[in-house]
């Protein structure tokens, strides 16, 4: 069954507000097993709205319209939809009563134009709005563009549309499409999208469940999606694919939970192994520490960190030798190693991570171009040093460096502990 979304409001077209409703509705409809091939935005214009609604009804079983249900003259969604379905507008006593109660509770003055919201198309199902005055509406029937079509009208404010959808619209759509969409997210670090896709091409050819890669900075996410009548049936479809992905990627998979971030996984890893971590940053200037400290409870594993932008700071705070900086420079594997060793010693941490590089836009040379970053990782006295070349502007290089650093310390801890990566 196909669904199409129409967002109504000139303020969306002008960029005055962000259309978060469309993203929310699209995601929820997908999880309900509905196929969405088209989305559109229409301003508060009767002719253009009618044209767009008729086009949507000609190709989709269900059209969900959001916005344009208010009391003002430019709120036209209900009137246009009634016209397309050939229905007259009638006052709904139940809705009129709810509008009166809403204003009585709020202590606001009820103006005459609010009664416009009590008008509903003949034969429509009224969906009560517990957070505002404009009710939702469901119209079913034949139109010129096709038989058995449905239009669902929802208020525009997110704090009204979301609870209404969850309480009433989602159950209605679930009855219309009993098969639902269920998915798991597998998150991989330390590999590029092309590398990952090359190893899962055969799995991506399956029809149910499907497998789709999504590239993030320093990560690749694989979404396994199954269409099934229930969660148990979906799990039976998803589980073999998930197990196969773990077999192929091992500990490069850091989570199978959509809400878990790489830094959260790292903090949990340190907690589980009773380890502490410190950081010594130059070009990232605290971004790495910030990512880690965004995790609730990170203070249990992260006691202190160092931002050592100048050579003097590297010598003073981390004990980097003056001779090392003179001979090799701040951006060098030798300096990255001594930064990591010094941070671990001064913080008395089992693990330490250092980052030194050239984020640009200036400062690069032929030998050491912009984007060159060295990282050192010390784990219980064992030290690894890695060289990276990142592309993009200053912000992108720093973001990429932080993601790579989180991946590096995770990999080094696993290697030190003998856990296969």
* Angle in degrees, CA 329, 332, 333, rounded to 5: 145
Element housing 227 (H / E): strand 219-228
CATH class of segment(s) 180-255: alpha beta
Tokens 């003056």 — which residue?
322
Burial class (CB in 10 A: 0-12, 13-18, 19+), 47: exposed
Supply the pLDDT for residue 407.
98
The list of the chain residues with pLDDT below 50 reads 421
Residue spans of beta strands (DSSP E) within 242-381: 253-255, 277-281, 302-307, 351-357, 372-379
Q: What is the pLDDT of residues 263-281, one digit of tens each?
A: 999 999 999 999 999 999 9
Tokens 């979906």 — which residue?
234
Residue 110 backbone class (left: φ over 0; alpha: ψ -120 to 50; beta: rest)? beta
CB 190 within 8 A of CB 263: no
Kindly list the distances between the CA atom of residue 66 and the CA atoms of 24, 110, 189, 276, 410, in Å, as whole numbers in the listed order: 11, 24, 38, 50, 45
Strand order in the sheet with 382-389: 302-307, 277-281, 351-357, 372-379, 382-389
* Nearest to 415, CA basis, from 374, 375, 378: 378
Which positions ≥6 away from 246 have C-beta within 8 Å? Answer: 253
HSE value, Cβ hemisphere, 13 Å, CA-based, for 384: 19
Distance CA 44, CA 29 (A): 25
Burial class (CB in 10 A: 0-12, 13-18, 19+), 248: middle
Can you list the alpha helix ranges (DSSP code H) found in 41-134? 46-59, 77-84, 93-106
Supply the pLDDT for residue 181.
82
- Cα 146 to its chain centre, rounded Å, is 36
Helix-, strand-, coil-residue percentages of the chain, each rounded to 5: 45, 25, 30
* Nearest to 151, CA basis, from 163, 160, 140: 140
Domain with CATH 3.30.70.2860 in the chain: 180-255
CB 18 within 8 A of CB 11: no
Supply the pLDDT for residue 122.
97
Domain with CATH 3.90.950.20 in the chain: 262-416
CATH class of segment(s) 2-176: alpha beta
DSSP 131: S
CATH class of segment(s) 262-416: alpha beta
Burial class (CB in 10 A: 0-12, 13-18, 19+), 32: buried
User: In terms of residues, how long is the chain?
Assistant: 421
Supply the pLDDT for residue 421.
45
DSSP secondary structure string, 99-122? Answer: HHHHHHHHT----GGGGGGGEEET
Q: What is the pLDDT of residues 90-128, one digit of tens each?
A: 999 999 999 999 999 888 889 999 999 999 999 999 999
Which positions ≥6 away from 192 have C-beta within 8 Å? Answer: 215, 220
Q: What is the pLDDT of residues 144-158, one digit of tens each?
A: 999 999 999 999 999
Which pTM does this prediction carry? 0.75
Domain with CATH 3.40.980.10 in the chain: 2-176
């Amino acid at each position: 069954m196909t669904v199409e979304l129409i967002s109504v409001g000139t303020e969306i077209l002008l960029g005055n507000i962000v259309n978060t409703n469309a993203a929310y509705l699209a995601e929820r409809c997908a999880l309900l097993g509905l196929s969405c091939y088209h989305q559109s935005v229409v301003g508060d214009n009767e002719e253009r709205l009618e044209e767009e609604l008729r086009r949507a009804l000609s190709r989709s079983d269900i059209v969900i319209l959001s916005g344009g249900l208010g009391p003002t003259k430019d709120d036209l969604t209900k009137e246009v939809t009634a016209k397309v379905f050939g229905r007259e507008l009638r006052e709904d006593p139940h809705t009129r009563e709810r509008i009166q109660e809403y204003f009585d509770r709020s202590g606001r003055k009820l103006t005459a134009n609010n009664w416009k919201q009590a008008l509903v198309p003949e034969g429509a199902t009224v969906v009560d709005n517990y957070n505002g005055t404009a009710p939702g509406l469901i119209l079913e029937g034949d139109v010129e563009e096709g038989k058995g079509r449905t239009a669902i009208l929802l208020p525009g404010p997110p704090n009204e549309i979301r609870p209404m959808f969850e309480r009433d619209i989602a159950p209605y759509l679930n009855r219309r499409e009993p098969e639902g969409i269920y998915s798991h997210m597998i998150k991989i670090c330390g590999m590029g999208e092309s590398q990952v896709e090359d190893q899962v091409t055969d799995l991506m050819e399956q029809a149910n469940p499907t497998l789709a890669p999504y590239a993030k900075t320093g990560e690749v996410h694989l979404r396994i999606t199954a269409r099934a009548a229930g969660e148990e049936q979906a799990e039976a479809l998803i589980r073999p694919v998930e197990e196969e992905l773990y077999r192929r990627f091992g500990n490069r998979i850091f989570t199978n939970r959509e809400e878990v971030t790489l830094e959260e996984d790292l903090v949990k890893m340190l907690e589980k192994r009773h380890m502490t971590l410190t950081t010594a940053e130059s070009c990232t200037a605290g971004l790495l520490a910030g990512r880690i400290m965004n995790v609730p409870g990170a203070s249990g594993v992260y006691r202190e960190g160092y931002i050592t932008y100048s050579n003097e700071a590297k010598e003073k705070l981390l004990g980097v030798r003056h001779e090392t900086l003179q001979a090799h420079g701040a951006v060098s594997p030798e300096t990255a190693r001594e930064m990591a060793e010094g941070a671990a010693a001064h913080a008395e941490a089992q693990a330490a991570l250092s980052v030194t590089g050239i984020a640009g836009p200036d400062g690069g040379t032929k030998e050491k171009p912009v984007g060159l970053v060295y990282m050192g990782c010390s784990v219980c006295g064992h030290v690894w040093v890695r060289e990276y070349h990142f592309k993009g502007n200053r912000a992108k290089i720093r973001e990429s460096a932080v993601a790579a650093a989180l991946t590096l310390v995770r990999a080094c801890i696993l290697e030190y502990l003998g856990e296969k990566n």
